[in-house]
Chains A and B, each alone.
Chain A
């Protein structure tokens, strides 16, 4: 059955790329401008009436966000994934909250985690999980988790810490060499 869905989509979106196909699963990639058309076509003409999830991936090196809508045709037990790449800077993606009210929550979450804006979502910008978050969105790859943790939570007092490499060196007397090059010198 998924064959039929694939053919239909290929006729309507000639630039569509197949990512993965299984007996009841299809993942396709479309251009950013056809993304909404593809999702709505799937809902209205192909029977994918349930929105399961909206997800995002940060492809920093390609300067793009990948947004994926995961749709389900419950009666046929089929899953359709429609992905599109959007430019990373000031990323804007149309909202689906007027069509599926459930989309609103996913979009708010993505806004909070990646900073992707969904104009048309009436609740956009409301806190979802990260109450009072001031930093750049934490799921963006340019977010430095370690640096943030250090800045926010500080040094790990009074915890002790031993570096295995230095410790082994000290235990076996690695730096007690005849010429006595010392470790500080190496640094």
Chain B
């Protein structure tokens, strides 16, 4: 017997006072590693329900389901993922591809349940002990390069060249670029919820990605008869909610729509039988105003078999899109190409007919229904001293007068007041005509209602932005006018929203100029509606209040577009037209 054999039992006892190497379960539990792939958590306020996690899951462990308390809204499907742990293999693909980064793993891995069917829950909705666990595998966007494929870059003419002409600034995609861009779409459909007209965006993006451009155009025309115009100047609410936009760049939906339309010389030929008048049903509808809203209603009513007459005071259709949006943003050829489709669909155009009270009475008696889509025509007053001086003009009237065909403004100084799209269009048009342009706006650049792109492009075109300037008055000088303003400070709005500008001090700044364009918005002009009719309709701030089918409440009168309160963009006007079609059909049948 060796000496160690005798002593070893006592050596073992010497460990009795030491700390154990094992863990005293269950009073103490062994946590998972910091990046352990345990049970899921989901920040439901961040999750948009795009279903990407479900699509990627190879084991079909994830389902998108309705959740109590989360309603579908603009940019959120209201659905949330439920994970089946009988099938989950904890590969983490769902977390890697999550559009918003809301889904994550915790390092919690213990859960005992008797029935396999109950081993599933909706992370973030069904409360679990690990909901606030900070450790666990998370999306590492910078490592994985999830945002990966960036948006196809659009070719835009350089500022030095584009200010010389009225040629279109945006050059458009090539076929390859468009197909690549469209194939970035993940087909979640969130864009549909944001588009006022609810266009079939995922479907036409898929069609473009697969090179089926005719199908794409046909899908546009299902609920938007002015796709090329929207492809160029739409406010693209769809892109703001795009799931791809949360961690990368949203799909260029607007440019792709434009691309598909530009592939064809004639849209009427492409649509062929899909844009024919319907079987006549003997009913007549009058549409007042050939803008986006009026045209949309006219197109679908005519396709439904109604005899539709469109009346417009101008010599061509298209409304403000045609008259007020300059050539470099929306060339005239595009509009006439789209107008052909309306003629093919049997819409009867009556141009150069301004509707007055007497004529409206006549329309009321001659037609079964009337759709008022006259838009906003009267420029708002700036309410400043001297605005009736000869050098002061409304910007809207200037844009409508086809300035590119008129004489130039070489060597002149022009002041534009306002921060909306009309102000940008006016300023940029004046630059192209050779003028030196100063743009005055009361608030900051970020408060401007104009499209960011327009603001950005205007800045590139050497327009002198004088933001935070409050107009005081305009004075007459020997050769032109003098514009006086206060510098402003921003007073934050306690209710949220844009801050209100207040004069910083009493100092009066002055600019001498030749012309001043005021572009502070338009108001409605409803003088053409007889008093007796106006009394029957509900009016607010000169706009007509309508129900969800665009019905005014007076006989068979419907209204839509900018004459009704709304967002004031083309796609909203088109959506109004679509609703009016439904309203008119319901009412006349």
Interface residues of A, Cβ cutoff 8 Å to B? 145-146, 149-150, 153, 156, 159-169, 171-174, 176-179, 181, 186
Contact = CB atoms under 8 A, between A and B. Distances in A.
B72 A168 contact: yes
A155 to B, nearest CB: 9
Given A145-B58, A145-B59, A164 B300 contact: no
Contacts of A153: 87
Contacts of A168: 72, 77, 189-190, 192-193
22 contacts: A146-B58, A146-B59, A149-B58, A156-B60, A159-B63, A162-B79, A164-B49, A164-B51, A164-B190, A167-B64, A168-B72, A169-B198, A169-B200, A171-B72, A172-B192, A176-B582, A177-B222, A178-B223, A178-B300, A178-B582, A179-B304, A181-B222
Nearest to B197: A177
B386 interface: no
Given A159-B84, A173-B198, A174-B198, A167 B188 contact: no
- Among the interface residues B59, B190, B585, which one has the most CB atoms of the partner chain A within 10 A? B59
Contacts of A161: 54, 63-65
Q: 10 smallest A-B Cβ distances: which pairs?
A: A165-B189, A178-B300, A145-B58, A164-B51, A164-B77, A161-B63, A168-B189, A174-B198, A177-B223, A178-B581
B430 interface: no
B39 to A, nearest CB: 18
Nearest to B274: A179
A156 B57 CA distance: 13
Given A178-B300, A178-B304, A160 B189 contact: no
Given A164-B50, A165-B189, A186-B219, 13 more contacts: A149-B58, A149-B60, A156-B84, A159-B84, A161-B65, A164-B77, A164-B189, A165-B202, A167-B77, A167-B189, A174-B198, A178-B304, A181-B222
B203 interface: yes
B338 to A, nearest CB: 17
Contacts of A164: 49-51, 64, 77, 79, 188-190
A149 B120 CA distance: 17
A167 B64 CA distance: 10
Nearest to A178: B300
A87 B430 CA distance: 68
A154 to B, nearest CB: 10
A163 B52 CA distance: 11
Contacts of A160: 63, 65
A164 B53 CA distance: 12
B486 to A, nearest CB: 46
B87 A149 contact: yes
Contacts of A179: 222, 300, 303-304
Contacts of A178: 223, 300-301, 303-304, 578, 581-582, 585
Given A167-B72, A172-B193, A156 B63 contact: yes
A152 to B, nearest CB: 10
B149 to A, nearest CB: 18
Contacts of A159: 63, 82, 84, 120
Contacts of A156: 60, 63, 84, 87
Interface string B24-54: 0000000000000000000000000111001
B530 to A, nearest CB: 30
Nearest to B580: A178
B522 interface: no
A181 B199 CA distance: 12
Best-buried of B59, B60, B79, B82 by chain A (most CB within 10 Å)? B60
Interface residues of B, number: 40
B380 interface: no
A160 B84 CA distance: 12
A187 B190 CA distance: 20
B151 interface: no
A49 to B, nearest CB: 29
A174 B64 CA distance: 20
Nearest to B76: A168
Interface in B146-197: 187-190, 192-193
Interface in B559-589: 578, 581-582, 585
A165 B64 CA distance: 11
Contacts of A162: 63-66, 79
A177 B60 contact: no
Contact of B192 (A146, A169, A176, A177): A169
Contacts of A174: 192, 198, 200
B526 to A, nearest CB: 27
A141 to B, nearest CB: 12
Contacts of B222: 177, 179, 181
A174 to B, nearest CB: 4
Nearest to A150: B60
B198 A163 contact: no
A169 B65 contact: no
A160 B81 CA distance: 11
A140 B54 CA distance: 23
A159 B62 CA distance: 10
B86 to A, nearest CB: 8
A149 to B, nearest CB: 5
Contacts of A150: 60
A165 B191 CA distance: 9
Contact of A171 (B50, B51, B193, B585): B193
A166 B188 CA distance: 9
Interface in B266-316: 300-301, 303-304
Contacts of B219: 186
Contacts of B190: 164, 168
Given A149-B87, A159-B84, A178-B582, A169 B189 contact: yes
B550 to A, nearest CB: 13
Contacts of A169: 189, 192, 198, 200
B60 to A, nearest CB: 6
Contact of B188 (A165, A173, A176, A177): A165
Interface string B520-555: 000000000000000000000000000000000000
A173 B196 CA distance: 11
Contacts of B77: 164, 167-168
A163 B187 CA distance: 10
A73 B203 CA distance: 57
Nearest to B297: A178
Contacts of B120: 159
Nearest to B71: A171
Residue of A146, A160, A164, A171 contacting most chain B CB atoms (<10 Å): A164
A136 B208 CA distance: 37
B72 A146 contact: no
